[in-house]
Structure 1
């Protein structure tokens, strides 16, 4: 039995349902993600959620990525960065079409070394910005 779809609505390249980013921080991230899509066609979305609805983050993020259909259909080249700050949980979900470039070990390294240290200081904007930059640097 699959998990219920998350209740978040896709409203843009940055969906800050946990309200951890300023409007300016959202705009800066969104502009970078738009530039990535214009340059490569790959879609990346940053999302924050106030809770995971009792689900493991892996299930929640996969359900969210599928519901939102991130990435081009015939390329499956979407990336979702999900942060649940109140649950101290985050994940990078990668479509099959980008798994050669954004492997699980690379994504784990970006999370552990680039993003989480900033999240621990409650600097979510810096963590997300650095994480987005690190992921973009790995994409063709």
Structure 2
């Protein structure tokens, strides 16, 4: 009986280790020499990659906080959160003793699939870049540019906010307040449309049909406005976003000034 239990335990452990090893093979190998911007999809131009690289290298050298940008065409059967977490661990993003790494993971939109964007934040930066803020950064700074197929501008804006938060240029609360006002502004047209709609409905003697109760041009305007609003809202479904905090980054392989300062031209 004991022997049978030991055999089953050994088999379970072996299968677990094997599955973990197979999953690890689906994560890109750490770049050699190390780079902070890694585009495996050909989305960014060489010039765009180098501009982002120089900015992130400078930030790494002056603060020790590390932001890695990775563009992939597939998550290889994993969800985006697991993929970003495992990549951060495998590459050793951030300083080993501080868990101060950030992985910005992008899967560009294609004709067959929607785009995905995810930010994995090391525990050492979770206090200044909480989960809710990473989602706002993606939605307000990055996705609007991604929708225009301008991935460089979206990444540039998103990493700028990450850098400012990590270095204390402004707080998460201040950023939330700033983006919160824009969210209210986004919904104001819907609010006014609904108020206008219900006021007319209330004053109408007939309630069977809006088309019968309202003047033709008013009904046409309402239908057109609401339809356009739905279209604008639905266009965001081309991308999904998210963010989360993870420990266990910080292998140190990218740290210690390993990138240098001026190694990238163009």
TM-score, scaled to structure 2:
0.51
Q: Which 5+ residue runs of structure 1 have no aligned equivalent?
A: none
Equivalent positions of 1:1-140 (< 5 A) are 4-5=23-24, 6-11=26-31, 12-86=35-109, 87=113, 88-140=115-167
SS of residue matched to 1:106: helix
1:9 is displaced (CA, Å) by 2.5
Give the whole-Å Cα distance in 2 for the aligned partners of 1:10 and 1:19.
18
Give the whole-Å Cα distance in 2 for the aligned partners of 1:98 and 1:18.
28
- CA RMSD for the aligned pairs? 1.4
Give the whole-Å Cα distance in 2 for the aligned partners of 1:18 and 1:95.
25
Q: Which runs of 4+ in 1 moved over 2 A?
A: none
Bigger radius of gyration among the two: 2
1:7 is displaced (CA, Å) by 3.1
CA contact (8 A) 1:48 1:84 kept: yes
SS of residue matched to 2:60: helix
Single out whichever of 82-91 and 47-56 deviates more from structure 2.
82-91
CA contact (8 A) 2:56 2:66 kept: yes
Q: How many residues align?
A: 140
Give the whole-Å Cα distance in 1 for the aligned partners of 2:91 and 2:50.
20
CA contact (8 A) 2:59 2:66 kept: yes
**Structure ranking higher on relative contact order (CA contacts 8 Å, 6+ apart):** 2
Give the whole-Å Cα distance in 1 for the aligned partners of 2:30 and 2:151.
20
1:20 is displaced (CA, Å) by 0.6
1:117 is displaced (CA, Å) by 1.1
User: Over residues 69-128 of structure 1, what are the superposed CA-to-partner deviations in whole Å (9 max), with x where a residue is unaligned?
Assistant: 100000000011010114510101110000001110111110011101111111111111
TM-score, scaled to structure 1:
0.94
Which structure has the highest helix share of the two? 2
SS of residue matched to 1:109: helix
1:39 is displaced (CA, Å) by 1.1
1:10 is displaced (CA, Å) by 2.7
